[in-house]
Structure 1
């Protein structure tokens, strides 16, 4: 079976070679920062509350990390160390140029070339649905996570079915846009870890940053626009449990997987 991994790598190498302007990840405008940071902050805050810990207690690996935008956000949050991985060497080179605080690895997210439980936390944001086999990407995250996994991906639901695309085309490489929900996430995790004691949490969110950016700028942008957008998301969150378009899944290990291997 053709997994599409090599063709995917070629395409993303080409995409990342055509641009070196990734400065928006470093934008200090309050509105832009809020939109970029929001979902990661929700996930990290929830994880820290559950585990009664602080970011500086954790080493984190970001998969499908591109030029390290999410890595920079996590480094700004104070994580002990942040490693960004991606299948594209050009993306990783861009990451190294952008933020010297980040460690980097060129890796295929479906087959991470590192030992089990290498990092405390393994995180992905909007990356699994680019993979030929997204479920394999999630199980690899679980394998190499020593303590927890955070997954932020499109949600399978009414809004996605009506408005979302089914197929995504990157320079001629087409992949199915895999979407998650609570049941899918729980079943994938449990089928992999079996009876290992763990905690699974799934939060449904809204994510309409392009629209919210326009709304914020209409109201003046910067701090004033940020306040308006925060209010909009607060109102939308009242309905997120039924209609939200993003799945935030957390998996927390209560004991190492190796203790339960036969």
Structure 2
């Protein structure tokens, strides 16, 4: 049986060889854009309200970036220095065709030895760590190469995930376990790696059922579809603390010689 890394590579190679339409990554359809981008917008909002978001001045690395949907989003959001990494060369070729301004890099998320420490202002992953056999190692590699912040958008460990979530993902003879995160796991992984009590860990829990919500919204006329989708998630907002998805931001402390002893400097929030 092959590993989750093989799953990611094999699945992307097959998808890229059979699909000829990637327009949902660059579409102007309001409903598609809302459903596709709402988690990313939530993560960037967390940074923005703390004065930590300067797209035109910051570099970004996307881990497990596939064909570059997140890269296209960041580029159109205002980021001018965006690198998309993935195991699949086929996926990265599609990425370059969608948005030529994006840099691409074949990369194993569990071992980014090619990248020096603190190379990118922002390092981001969306639905990628749970494909890895060692997802926490992938996360700590993100912490290592990030200069300011890490964004992790992954399934949340909780009652909802255990009841209705997928535990095993299969693609032919390739399989991986769907690793789910929560506040405790994120905190422990961050502090055990950084050895710093003052790193800022900001997990945000939310509902994410875009396939179901999209099908529901498309039953209505085009005029109402976006409003219906927004209304569904607005209704769920009061119970976001029970949601199936984690959108988390980890802000690294300022570089300081005392960092490794736990007496690191607090990040600048404005």
Distance in 2 between residues matched to 1:128 and 1:251, nearest whole Å: 15
- Who is 2:132 aligned against? 131
Report how many aligned residue pairs link the two structures.
259
> 1:44-99, CA deviations, whole angstroms, 9 ceiling, x for partnerless residues?
01112113443223111001000001110111110131110000010001111111
Cα RMSD of the aligned pairs, angstroms, is: 1.9
Which residue does the alignment assign to 2:25? 25
Deviation at 1:181, TM superposition (A): 0.8
Q: Give 1:42 shift.
A: 0.7
Residue matched to 1:43: 43
- Separation of aligned partners in 1, 2:166 and 2:4: 20
Q: Which moved more, 1:145-154 or 1:158-167?
A: 158-167
SS in 2 for 1:61: strand
Aligned partners of 1:240 and 1:197: how far apart in 2? 26
Instruction: Tell me the equivalent position of 2:246.
Output: 247
Q: In the alignment, which residue of structure 2 is the partner of 1:56?
A: 56
- Does the residue aligned with 1:141 lie in a helix, a strand or coil? helix
Aligned pairs for 1:204-215 (under 5 A) are 204-215=205-216
Match of 2:264 in 1: none
Q: How many Å apart are 1:165 and its aligned residue?
A: 1.3
Contact 1:119 1:144 in 2 (8 A): yes
User: 2:74 — aligned with what?
Assistant: 74
1:3 is displaced (CA, Å) by 6.2
* Inter-CA distance 88–219: structure 2 relative to 1 (3 Å threshold): same
Change (3 A) 1:4 1:33: closer
CA distance 1:232–1:186, shift in 2 (3 Å):
same
Distance in 1 (alpha carbons) for counterparts of 2:260 and 2:138: 21
Any unmatched runs of 5+ in structure 2? 262-270
Per-residue CA shift, 1:143-198, capped at 9, x if unaligned? 00000000000011111111111111123211100001111111111111012632
Distance in 1, Cα, partners of 2:144 & 2:108: 14
Judged with a 3 Å threshold, the aligned counterparts in structure 2 of structure 1 residues 6 and 233 are, in CA distance, closer, same or farther, namely closer
Which sections of structure 1, spanning at least 5 residues, go unmatched? none
With normalisation by structure 2, the TM-score equals 0.90
Secondary structure at the counterpart of residue 50 of structure 1: coil
Aligned positions of 1:81-92 closer than 5 A: 81-92=81-92
- TM-score under structure 1 normalisation? 0.93
Per-residue CA deviation, residues 180-233 of structure 1 (Å, 9 max, x unaligned), is: 111111111111101263211010011000011112111223x52111111110
- Aligned twin of 1:225: 225
CA contact (8 A) 1:8 1:173 kept: no
Sort the Cα spacing of 1:61 and 1:257 in 2 relative to 1 into closer, same or farther, 3 A. farther
Give SS of 2:94's match.
helix
Change in Cα spacing, 1:55 to 1:247, as seen in structure 2 (3 Å) is: same
The answer to whether the 8 A contact 2:152-2:249 is kept is: yes
- The range that moved more, 103-112 or 15-24, is 15-24
CA 154–258 in structure 1, closer or farther in 2 if over 3 Å, else same: farther
